[in-house]
Amino acid sequence: MEPFIEMRGIHKVYPDGTVALRGVDFRLYRGEIVGLLGENGAGKTTLMKILSGLLPPTQGEIRLEGRSVRFRNPSDALRAGIGMVHQIFTLVPPYTALENILLGQEGSALWLRKEQARPRVERLLEEVGLSIPLDVPVELLPIGVQQRVEILKVLYRGTRVLILDEPTSALTPLEVDELFKFMRRLKEDGRSIVFITHKLREVLEICDRIVVLRNGLVTGEVQADKATPELLAERMVGHAVVPRVSRSPRPPGEPILVVRDLEVMGDLGVPAVRGVSFEVRAGEIFGIAGVEGNGQSELAQALGGLRPIRRGEILLDGKPLPPLAPIEAYRQGISHIPEDRLRFGLALHFDVAENSILSRQWEALFLRGWGRLDWPRILAFAAELVQRFQVLTPGVRATARHLSGGNQQKLVVGRELSKEPRLILAVHPTRGLDVASTAYIRELLIRMRDQGKAVLLISADLDEILELSDRIAVMYEGKFLGVGPAEAFSRTEIGMLMGGILPQEQR
């Protein structure tokens, strides 16, 4: 049978030089559900953005029913019957479902078209077996229903290929069941679905065929009935042996950070961290692995005093950490290397010196009487920081914007480590960095551990977790699915945990 869509030799290099895809072949047949499986950065979303016309491929060809096509924008792809539902919703919150479905279509003013279009939308609802309230502002609808509106928006354009990017990440189990029912119905209608996910159980349950991506390459393609979690996990995380960084052997000390039964809400109004308990001891690196979006960000923000906690407690040196009080957290000895240096860690238009006291601007060390900044001391401190942590900059008065990503991150990391902390909270500390900066920052973290500090490392980079951690936890859907010494896990086992398969199911 001829594939409905065929992508051949797709390469994608982003303008900043990141290579996302290195020659991917992908086929999609009529009436099938294909799972696209992979870790963060494997290239799943990039590949599908290319198919849906959002990104041009650097190289490679797309064939639709055997004919070569080029999509210049998402409208081209929609006209060809290909539509994508993104992880981040694109609905206008105060508009109703009906208005959102019609929005962006060509034609007369929205309020004129609305009533003409209503019968067509209702017919579509019936056809695909969904019921949603059409006249309620979508912001008042639950997440699961909002997602259906999002899908309907795409289907309304006569879509034959539906791409769903991690559609289950914000859904309750019941909503996931309903989504799957709906997906099967679409499939019976002869439509094809690409299901992007990192969840092994879901991919095995709903898909006909599974394509595994890793590092921009296809590493596996199997019929779902022949696939096992082990096989998929292995393909997803690879089996490279990561050399463990040399470290001084030392027995872990007393617990510095103790977290008990912590529950934290996510931005969508559902719990993102669901009852997590752990401790980090002096002189150890505790690594939290997991595919992003499983509650790691919310956990880190709660620990750093940036997000309220719903239940549970956080103790630092036995003292409870007050919620939503970053300065109190810093005062008690937390250093926070935030997950996104540009979003949280730096002010790009501030100079290096100003950035070197960001989050320390309240410390008496940098102030004179009447809340005046002690500029001579700040400049000297910044100069020392730049030198000690090898930040390449024209000077401490240069704007942070002019530094490379690696040097910006070294500035943030250096600033945080210079606080003489008890606990270092490092979130994706080397994301997007060149090899040299990455190695340097990892070395710094190890050095901190050897000095007897407690290090909590949260990273979506499995290699980083395996290389640095003394103990590892895998986070999945807001919970820890396995905690233990680093030596106790094989790479494949961690891969399966990242995909939501528990150890007892692995046997």
Partner 1 sequence: MGRARPLLESALAILVGLIAGGLLMLPFRYDPLRAYQALFQGAFGTTHDILETLAFATPLMLTALTFAVGVRAGLFNIGAEGQMYVGAISAVFAASLLPLPPGIHIAVATLAGMIGGALWSLVPALLKIWRGVHEVISTIMFNWIAFHLVTYLAIYYLAEPGRAERTRPALPTARYPVLAEGSTLTAVIFVAVLFCLAVYFFLWGTRFGYELRLVGENPEAARYAGVRIGQALLRSFLIGGLAAGLAGASQIIGRPPAWSLYATLGNVVTLGFDGIGVALVGRNHPLGGILAAILFGALQHGGRFMEYHAGVVSELVRAVNGLIVITLSIPELWAMLRRRLAR
Residues in contact with partner 1 by CB under 8 A are: 304-306, 325-327, 330, 336, 338, 343-351, 354, 357-359, 361-362, 367, 370-373, 375, 397-399, 402
Question: CB of residue 157 vs partner 1: minimum separation in angstroms?
Answer: 29
Is the CB of 120 or the CB of 349 nearer to partner 1?
349
- Residue 180 is inside which H or E element, if any? helix 173-188
How many whole angstroms separate alpha carbon 448 and alpha carbon 243? 19
Helix (H, G, I), strand (E, B) or coil at 60: strand
Question: CB of residue 308 vs partner 1: minimum separation in angstroms?
Answer: 13
Q: Which residue reads 């993102």 in tokens?
A: 272
- 273 in Cβ contact with 264 (< 8 Å): yes
Is the CB of 173 or the CB of 369 nearer to partner 1?
369
* Residue 320 CB neighbours (<10 A): 11
Question: CB of residue 196 vs partner 1: minimum separation in angstroms?
Answer: 27
Question: CB of residue 15 vs partner 1: minimum separation in angstroms?
Answer: 16
Give CA 394 to chain center in angstroms. Answer: 33
Is the CB of 89 or the CB of 330 nearer to partner 1?
330
Q: Distance between the two ends of the chain, CA-based, in angstroms? A: 37
DSSP code, position 342: I
Is the CB of 327 or the CB of 488 nearer to partner 1?
327
Question: CB of residue 312 vs partner 1: minimum separation in angstroms?
Answer: 22
Is the CB of 283 or the CB of 414 nearer to partner 1?
414
How many whole angstroms separate alpha carbon 489 and alpha carbon 471? 10
Question: CB of residue 330 vs partner 1: minimum separation in angstroms?
Answer: 7
Is the CB of 221 or the CB of 374 nearer to partner 1?
374
Is the CB of 111 or the CB of 370 nearer to partner 1?
370
How many whole angstroms separate alpha carbon 195 and alpha carbon 146? 18
Of 318, 243, 314, 256, nearest to 285 by C-alpha is 256
Question: CB of residue 408 vs partner 1: minimum separation in angstroms?
Answer: 12
Under 8 Å CB-to-CB from 467, ≥6 apart: which residues? 242, 243, 244, 245, 442
